[in-house]
Amino acid sequence: MNIDLEKLKLIPFMPNELIEISEDYVVAAEKGLSAEKDCLKMHPSFLSEKISQHNNSSILAVDIGGTNIRIALFRYDTSKNKLEIADKVSVFETKNAYKQGDLTGFIKYINDYIEEYCSKLNEQVDWIGVSYSFPSDIIKVNNHLDVTRANFGKDSWGKGYVITESEVNITAELRNDLKKRGVQFNKWTALNDVIALKLAEVNALAALVVGTGFNLAVMGPDKYLYNTQSSRFTNKLIEDNYYWLNDPFYSQYGISEVQISGRYLYKRFIDIIKLSDEYDQNFVDLVSTRKSEVISLVLADNFTQMEEYKGSEISHSERMQYKLIADALLERSTDLASAELSGAIKFSLKHNPDYNKSKIVVNTDGSVIRKMPNYYQKILNKTSGILATEFELRIVEDSGIYGAAYASLLNS
């Protein structure tokens, strides 16, 4: 196996190129403010700016992510002015929900867990807040309604998962099915993962999710939160370096946009390995099963663990090649994530001139940025370099459920 990174266009971007992509992000986001294509208004208009001081309701928060479903009960302590978990967080795998094949199966899979959780509580839930990682170009929060998939085809699900009959309002279907099951609640609030992350901890200028998927939230005019898209960028650098986007070989994986997340990393890792006539199919199968975890193991030089998973040895030459590929993918992913994040910060500062520029804070979460070796630090260093200023990149654990619970409090 002999990999030519330059031929694959996986060499790192130059500093001036990262600045160019960052500026392009700002331009695309600005254009999106009116067209709502590259920049979707996601902060629901029904959310107030302050929590009611008379608020003592119990909140069931549900986070439907690309990897797991998290459920927890929250209460807001008015004496402490603090949102607190009243019961431990329960975690369930999401992947089987996406494999149900139709909307009915998807709804049933998720609501079975929610209903089971509620049945074990010694109290009735007042409100339910839901955050989700459905791709943002197929959703939009409208007024006080839930998520809608109107005008989008059934194959627009994203993340490589297709659910038939899914043109409907997915979170409304979840809500209505729970009511049919007899689960009682007075209010339902739904919002996407990156907006939940932005709300989960105060004073953040923007939010960055890098997990199974990739997402950015920016603060636009009038402090509204927007979900920005990288898929529609026309920057020549991106076009030149993502030459495979229209290649049928890649479209079979559902890669149809600029992606830098966990799913992109392991799919691209497999594709590069398979360019060799002598690739190890057993190792490819391991990557397909363990996904981005394998990238993390390679970056950490933990080949012992991979050999245990694989059931056979990995030669020294193979290790060196896998490390070369993983390092290159790490650089490419963090290059683009940093360029786009710096653009998001510039955009947010432009529209919020009163924000304290000496204490810029960005909330972040996601399995890749939390677990992949060096990913977080590279994002922090590269983004600071592009901006020519330091900032705080704050990891928010369980951001989906905290954000969903907090949004429920603001839903007056």
- What tens digit of pLDDT does each residue of 269-321 get? 888 888 877 889 999 999 998 888 999 999 999 999 999 999 999 999 999 99
How many Å apart are CA 306 and CA 293, to the nearest integer?
10
> Residue 77's closest CA among 90, 61, 58, 91?
58
Q: Give the pLDDT confidence score for residue 365 in this predicted structure.
A: 94
1 falls within a domain: no
196 falls within a domain: yes
- Same domain membership, residue 52 and residue 33: no
372 falls within a domain: yes
| Residue 21 pLDDT > 60 | yes
Q: What pTM was computed for the model?
A: 0.81
Contacts of 122 (CB under 8 A, 6+ apart): none
- Same domain membership, residue 239 and residue 381: yes
The least confident of 42-51, 355-364, 379-388 is: 42-51
- Same domain membership, residue 113 and residue 158: yes
Which residue reads 């992509």 in tokens? 21
209 falls within a domain: no
pLDDT band for 168, please (50, 70, 90 cuts): low
pLDDT band for 79, please (50, 70, 90 cuts): confident
- Same domain membership, residue 168 and residue 59: yes
| Residue 54 pLDDT > 90 | no
> Residue 7's closest CA among 261, 243, 246?
243
> Residue 44's closest CA among 142, 111, 123, 165?
142
- Same domain membership, residue 384 and residue 248: yes
The least confident of 136-140, 299-303, 384-388 is: 136-140
Q: Give the pLDDT confidence score for residue 410 in this predicted structure.
A: 82
- Same domain membership, residue 86 and residue 32: no
- Stretch (H or E) spanning 346: helix 316-351
Q: Give the pLDDT confidence score for residue 195 in this predicted structure.
A: 84
Average pLDDT over residues 321-334: 92
Whether the Cβ atoms of residue 67 and residue 367 lie closer than 8 Å to each other: yes
Whether the Cβ atoms of residue 192 and residue 404 lie closer than 8 Å to each other: no
Is the pLDDT higher at 261 or at 23?
Answer: 23
- Stretch (H or E) spanning 267: helix 262-273
- Same domain membership, residue 240 and residue 194: no
pLDDT band for 344, please (50, 70, 90 cuts): very high
Which residue reads 């797991």 in tokens? 68
- Same domain membership, residue 140 and residue 19: no
State the residue range of the domain holding 101: 43-202+398-410
pLDDT band for 143, please (50, 70, 90 cuts): very low
pLDDT band for 402, please (50, 70, 90 cuts): very high
Which residue reads 């600005």 in tokens? 30
Q: Give the pLDDT confidence score for residue 177 in this predicted structure.
A: 94
| Residue 193 pLDDT > 50 | yes
Would you list the DSSP string of 208-242?
EEESSSEEEEEE-GGG-EEEE-STT---HHHHHHT
Q: What angle do CA 149, 198, 54 make, to 5 degrees?
A: 95
Is the pLDDT higher at 99 or at 165?
Answer: 99
| Residue 239 pLDDT > 70 | no
- Same domain membership, residue 237 and residue 128: no
How many Å apart are CA 406 and CA 390, to the nearest integer?
28
| Residue 133 pLDDT > 60 | yes
Q: Give the pLDDT confidence score for residue 55 in this predicted structure.
A: 62
- Same domain membership, residue 140 and residue 20: no
| Residue 125 pLDDT > 80 | yes
Count up the domains in the chain and report the number. Answer: 2
CA-based radius of gyration for the chain: 21
Q: Give the pLDDT confidence score for residue 84 in this predicted structure.
A: 86
Q: What angle do CA 273, 65, 60 make, to 5 degrees?
A: 165
- Same domain membership, residue 146 and residue 98: yes
- Same domain membership, residue 288 and residue 145: no
